[in-house]
Structure 1
Amino acid sequence: MAAGTRARFHSLRVTALDRLTDDSIALTLEVPADLREEYRYTPGQHLAVRRTVDGGEIRRTYSVCSPALAPEGPSTLRVGVRVVEGGEFSTYAHKEIAVGDELEVMTPAGRFTLEPRPGRYAAVVGGSGITPVLSIVSTLLAREPDASFCLIRSDRTTASTMFLEEVADLKDRYPDRFQLVTVLSREEQQAGLPSGRLDEGRLTALLPELLPVAEISGWFLCGPFGLVQGAERALRALGVRRAVIHEEIFHVDDGVAQAPTAGAGAAAAASAPAHSTVTATLDGRSGSWPVQDGESLLETVLRNRSDAPYACKGGVCGTCRAFLVDGEVRMDRNFALEPEETDAGYVLACQSHPTTERVELDFDR
Structure 2
Amino acid sequence: MSTLFHPLRVKAIEPDTAEAVIVSFEVPTDLQEVFGFTQGQYLTLRKDIDGQDLRRSYSICAGLDDGELRVGVRKVRGGVFSNWINASLQPGDTLQVMAPQGRFFVPIEPSSARHHVGIAGGSGITPILSIMKTVLAREPASRFTLIYGNRQLQSTMFKEEIEDLKNRYMTRLVLQHVFSDEHTDSPLGFGVMNREKIGEFLKSVVPAARIDHVYVCGPFQMNDEAEAALLDAGVPEARIHIERFGVALPSAAQVGAVVHEAQPGDAKQARVTIVRDGLQREITYTEGQPSILDAASAAGLEVPFSCTSGVCGTCRAKCVDGEVRMERNFALDKNEVAAGFVLTCQAHPLTERVTLSFDER
Same fold (TM over 0.5): yes
Bigger drift between 199-208 and 55-64 goes to 199-208
Counterpart check, 1:276 vs 2:297: no
Counterpart check, 1:199 vs 2:194: yes
Give 2:122's match in structure 1, choosing from 112, 122, 127: 127
Counterpart check, 1:253 vs 2:248: yes
Task: Return the letter of the residue paired with 2:137.
Answer: A
Q: Which residue of 2 aligns with 1:180?
A: 175
Give 2:36's match in structure 1, choosing from 36, 40, 44: 40
- CA deviations 1:92-115 (Å, max 9, x no partner) are 101111111111111100000133
Q: Which residue of 2 aligns with 1:87?
A: 79
Q: Give the secondary structure class of the aligned counterpart of 1:299.
A: helix
Distance in 2, Cα, partners of 1:7 & 1:295? 24
Task: Return the letter of the residue paired with 1:281.
Answer: V
Q: Which residue of 1 aligns with 2:108?
A: 116
Counterpart check, 1:68 vs 2:64: yes
Task: Return the letter of the residue paired with 1:30.
Answer: E
Distance in 2, Cα, partners of 1:145 & 1:133? 18
Q: Which residue of 2 aligns with 1:20?
A: 16
Bigger drift between 101-110 and 184-193 goes to 184-193
Task: Return the letter of the residue paired with 2:267.
Answer: P
Q: 1:239 to 1:270 in 2, by over 3 A?
A: farther
Which runs of 5 or more structure 1 residues have no equivalent in the other structure?
Answer: 1-5, 257-268
Counterpart check, 1:31 vs 2:23: no
TM-score normalised by structure 1 residue count: 0.90
* Aligned length in residues: 345
Deviation at 1:189, TM superposition (A): 1.9
Q: Which residue of 2 aligns with 1:154?
A: 149
Q: Which residue of 1 aligns with 2:359?
A: 364
Q: Which residue of 1 aligns with 2:315?
A: 320
Distance in 2, Cα, partners of 1:243 & 1:59? 31
- CA deviations 1:8-52 (Å, max 9, x no partner) are 211111111111111110011111111111100000000000012
Q: Which residue of 2 aligns with 1:259?
A: none
Q: Which residue of 2 aligns with 1:216?
A: 211
> What CA RMSD, in Å, does the superposition of the two structures yield over aligned residues?
1.8
Compare relative contact order (CA 8 Å, sep 6+) and give the higher one, 1 or 2. 1
Distance in 1, Cα, partners of 2:9 & 2:165? 28
User: Contact between 2:72 and 2:126, CA under 8 Å: does it hold in 1?
Assistant: yes
Task: Return the letter of the residue paired with 1:323.
Answer: K
Q: Give the secondary structure class of the aligned counterpart of 1:193.
A: helix
Distance in 2, Cα, partners of 1:149 & 1:194? 18
Counterpart check, 1:96 vs 2:96: no
Task: Return the letter of the residue paired with 1:288.
Answer: E
- Give the 5 Å matches for 1:326-345: 326-345=321-340
Task: Return the letter of the residue paired with 2:85.
Answer: A
Deviation at 1:136, TM superposition (A): 0.5
- CA deviations 1:178-207 (Å, max 9, x no partner) are 111110011112456242111112222321
Deviation at 1:272, TM superposition (A): 1.8
- CA deviations 1:295-349 (Å, max 9, x no partner) are 3011112223542011111111101111111222221111111111111111101
User: Contact between 2:220 and 2:247, CA under 8 Å: does it hold in 1?
Assistant: yes
Give 2:98's match in structure 1, choosing from 106, 120, 123: 106
Distance in 1, Cα, partners of 2:274 & 2:234? 40
User: Contact between 2:221 and 2:248, CA under 8 Å: does it hold in 1?
Assistant: no
Counterpart check, 1:354 vs 2:349: yes
- Give the 5 Å matches for 1:226-265: 226-255=221-250
Q: Give the secondary structure class of the aligned counterpart of 1:316.
A: coil
Deviation at 1:170, TM superposition (A): 0.7
Give 2:133's match in structure 1, choosing from 112, 135, 138: 138
TM-score normalised by structure 2 residue count: 0.91
Q: Give the secondary structure class of the aligned counterpart of 1:251.
A: coil
Deviation at 1:149, TM superposition (A): 0.6
Task: Return the letter of the residue paired with 1:38.
Answer: V
Give the share of equivalent positions with the same residue, in percent. 43
Q: Which residue of 1 aligns with 2:260?
A: none
- CA deviations 1:120-157 (Å, max 9, x no partner) are 11011100000001010101111110111111110011
Distance in 2, Cα, partners of 1:283 & 1:312? 22
User: Contact between 1:7 and 1:309, CA under 8 Å: does it hold in 2?
Assistant: no
